Chain A
Amino acid sequence: MQIKHFIYTFLALFTSIASWAQFQFRAEVSSQSVGLNQMIEVRFIMNDNGTNYKFPSFEGFEVLRVIDINNTYIVNRDVRKESGNAFVLRPLTKGNLTIGSASVEFEGKIYKTQPITIEVGDPVQQKPQRHQRRRDPFARFMEEMEEDFNRRRQQQMEMQQNLGEGIHLVAKISKNDVYANEPLTVEYGLYISYQSGFNTLGIKQLPKYENFWNHSIDQKELQVKEATLNGKVYRYLTLQKAVLLPQKDGTLKIDPMEVEIEEQFYTGRVDVFGISEIGLRKKTYSSGAKTITVKPLPLDNQPEGFAGAVGSYTFTVDADKTILKANEPLALSVTVQGKGNLDLLTLPTPIVPNALELYDPEKINRVTKNMSSGMQGTKTEKYIIVPQYKGTYTIEPLTFSYFDINSKSYKTITTEPITVEVTEDPDLPTNETKTDKAEIVSKQDMQPLDKNIEWFNGNFVTENNSYYVWWLAPLLLLPVMFFVKNQSNKNNQNTEGKRLKATNKLAKKYLSEAKSQIGQKEAFYEALERCMHNYLKARLKIETSEMSNDTITGLLNQHQVAPTDIATFMQIKTTCEMARYAQMDIQTMQNDYELAAQLIHSIDKQLKK
């Protein structure tokens, strides 16, 4: 089959050469047996300008490209022209496909090419095809020409093969395993082999660095370098560089970068000089997503005041002067220098006495971001301090802690305290008269020590128990004295009491009749007189009913009764007789009764002797 077609081709060629001066119209195919994935080229060539050019319909094929052919050869001083068309075809189905004949009209005559049958087999791994040499002893020059053509076509086929394999978009990450806040770098680059090229490049999707703090490093110009990838040499172009700081621990994903490239490829057509034509097509490349493992910073031994600094640093606090006058400014610089997450760390704030006025700091950042170290440089906060009063003040030491990546441990730097001596007070405003006492006091100098000491003025006598003895003893004395006084009073009253008791007893015995009559004048005095008589009769044991004054006085004298008592007795007796005719009130009766009672008592005592 193959041979048969070759013969056709051969015959066509042969006849064309043989009928040299005549009009020729021929069809050529690059291969009569192709795989489904391969392409063939069909050429229709004539050696003069024909008209009414008709092409077959190429059923079962897809026409990829139509190329005009316009070649001029000079052979043995003869100028030969060839014109026609070449079709790049791709088979659509397997099996034997036939390319129909093309026709052209020349000087009223119609020329036709032979139909060509092409065998389409399974898709094949393409290998370089050796073109069959034709053994034509008469056309050696043609042979050379054909060979040259075939060589070029072969080269071109290989190139087509390589197209698309020559470009790679790669993301390079400095570290896959980092601590949170540890800087890492990412670089997106395009590897282009020497066999390929592109015209334009558009970035379709930039990576979004989620959960990362990022800073992209600006490139001044795009530079093409030479680099190797998988053992092959490529041209290399950096697209984007960035410094990343992971803000979260865990496994973090970096989105891929996508780039749309208008790349060059060989169309399969050859130009006049047999050089393959280059076409353009758009293709999208992706760098692929990358994952990074972020370890959290260790929690144990984390120093107090750790503010998230990771890297390796030095920390300094400087004052531009330490001896100054009040109201003179002083600059205090707090500086961190080193490698690490400089942009993200916070510097400690100095603590100063309130006599030093502290103003908001000026922030000076000199941080460079590069691929070798991530971030590097110095970060400074410059505070302006204005002392208000004279004196010596201390600015407390500052501490700065960071996590050291190299030793994987926390480190703390503590600075020295800074002593500021303010030598002069500010001038007092003269136009203002301050009356505030506190203000005047504050302008005075610090007072020296006090030499006048009064020892133990804090020992309170009330804290001592003996004080209470001294204080309460007199109070105890008071009840004692009362008691003593009371006791003596009691003794005095004792004798009188007995007498009173006896009087009452006697009065009850003899004067009860009279007592019941108190208030009724006549009855009372009659009873009183009778009672007195009864008493005497009872005490002196006399039986006589005659009780004259004389007999009574005589009797009483006999018994040695005191003359005053006898007089009193007589007085009562007279009162009793007088009372029958005179006005008497209750008070007088009472008095007389008591007088009588006392008298009886007194006489009784004397009679007993």
Chain B
Amino acid sequence: MKNYWILFWTLLFCGLATAQNNEALFSEGMTAFDKKDYETSANIFSQLMQRDSLNATLHYNLGTSYLRLQNTGLSIYHLQKALKFRPDYEQARINLNFAEKLKTTVSKGNLPIPQQQMLYSVFDFLKPNTWAYLALGTMFTGIGLLLFYLFNHNATTKKILFSIGMFAIGISILSYFISKNQSNYLLEHHYVIVTQKETLLMHEPRVISKVLQNITEGSKGLIKEETNQWIRIQLENDTIGWVEKSKVMKY
């Protein structure tokens, strides 16, 4: 137990130290952007991204830098990712609209929404970590109530204590699974964005295969299946086929 406390404090300390370093780098990126040196700002934000890969703000800033650089695929990718981490990010939505205009082809239709995403939006009123702490809190309360129940001799109080205690433990387990779902949704990949100028949608996961369609930079697809080198995706026009992993980025 004592070891964990040490671990906890060191983690917190390291976190604070790097946070200060990051803060400096972040403002450097902001000034580079203001000076219209979009290349540098994109570099800085992608460096920061490696340290804090699930940060909506960083994704938004990086996506906006790429938008200024007219890099269609990467700007759409990062802005979409920012919106995934924070669905109510209005600025990201506006800039994504601009990025969509850089695409050379207009895609029509909508992709189906995966079940995990629907669950996520239902429980999105609390952050994944809040759910986790809620699970911890309710677990402690539940156990405390059950201990009271054990050493109490009054039958009615015993009954009440037992039912409330079990209920609290149930809540705890539920919120743990919600927290896990929320974080898993954010960590797992559901869509791809094409980052190459042009790539081919194949009928089979082989280099020599029937070509179903040409897909251009910035196109979005829903991941259906994955192998080592290929991903089976569904496009917005409902065509399903395989693309090479190196030609797309997942989010």
Please give, as numbers and ranges, the residues of chain A lying within 8 Å of B103 by CB-CB distance.
353-354
Contact B104 A352 (CB under 8 A): yes
Please give, as numbers and ranges, the residues of chain A lying within 8 Å of B98 by CB-CB distance.
389, 391, 446
B40 at interface by CB-CB < 8 Å: no
B215 at interface by CB-CB < 8 Å: no
> How far does the alpha carbon of A461 sit from the alpha carbon of B103 in the complex, in Å?
39
Contact B94 A474 (CB under 8 A): no
> How far does the alpha carbon of A351 sit from the alpha carbon of B103 in the complex, in Å?
10
Interface residues of B in 187-224 (CB under 8 A from A): 187, 197
> How far does the alpha carbon of A466 sit from the alpha carbon of B8 in the complex, in Å?
8
Instruction: Report the count of interface residues on B (CB-CB < 8 A).
Output: 66
Please give, as numbers and ranges, the residues of chain A lying within 8 Å of B95 by CB-CB distance.
446-447
Contact A460 B26 (CB under 8 A): no
Contact B179 A354 (CB under 8 A): no
Chain A residue at smallest Cβ distance from B132: A461
B155 at interface by CB-CB < 8 Å: no
Binds B, one of A33-41, A271-279, A450-458: A450-458
Please give, as numbers and ranges, the residues of chain A lying within 8 Å of B151 by CB-CB distance.
485
Contact B136 A460 (CB under 8 A): no
B4 at interface by CB-CB < 8 Å: yes
Interface residues of A in 10-49 (CB under 8 A from B): none
Contact A449 B101 (CB under 8 A): no
B150 at interface by CB-CB < 8 Å: yes
Instruction: Report the count of interface residues on A (CB-CB < 8 A).
Output: 46
B80 at interface by CB-CB < 8 Å: no
B46 at interface by CB-CB < 8 Å: no
Please give, as numbers and ranges, the residues of chain A lying within 8 Å of B135 by CB-CB distance.
471
**Beyond A393-B70, A481-B150, is A458–B102 a contact (Cβ under 8 Å)?**
no
Interface residues of A in 524-582 (CB under 8 A from B): none
> Which residue, of A446, A449, A454, A462, has the highest number of chain B Cβ atoms within 10 A?
A449
Interface residues of A in 385-420 (CB under 8 A from B): 388-389, 391-394, 396
Please give, as numbers and ranges, the residues of chain A lying within 8 Å of B129 by CB-CB distance.
459-461
A73 at interface by CB-CB < 8 Å: no
Contact A454 B57 (CB under 8 A): yes
Smallest CB separation, B11 vs chain A (Å): 8
Query: 22 A-B Cβ contacts within 8 A?
Result: A353-B72, A353-B103, A396-B104, A438-B97, A446-B95, A447-B92, A449-B30, A450-B91, A453-B26, A457-B55, A458-B186, A459-B54, A459-B129, A460-B128, A460-B129, A462-B128, A462-B179, A469-B1, A474-B140, A475-B143, A478-B143, A481-B147
Q: Which residues of A contact B (CB under 8 A)?
A: 351-355, 388-389, 391-394, 396, 438, 441-442, 444, 446-463, 466-467, 469-471, 474-475, 477-478, 481-482, 485
The 9 closest A-B pairs by CB, nearest first: A458-B54, A355-B101, A474-B143, A460-B183, A447-B91, A353-B102, A461-B132, A453-B57, A466-B4
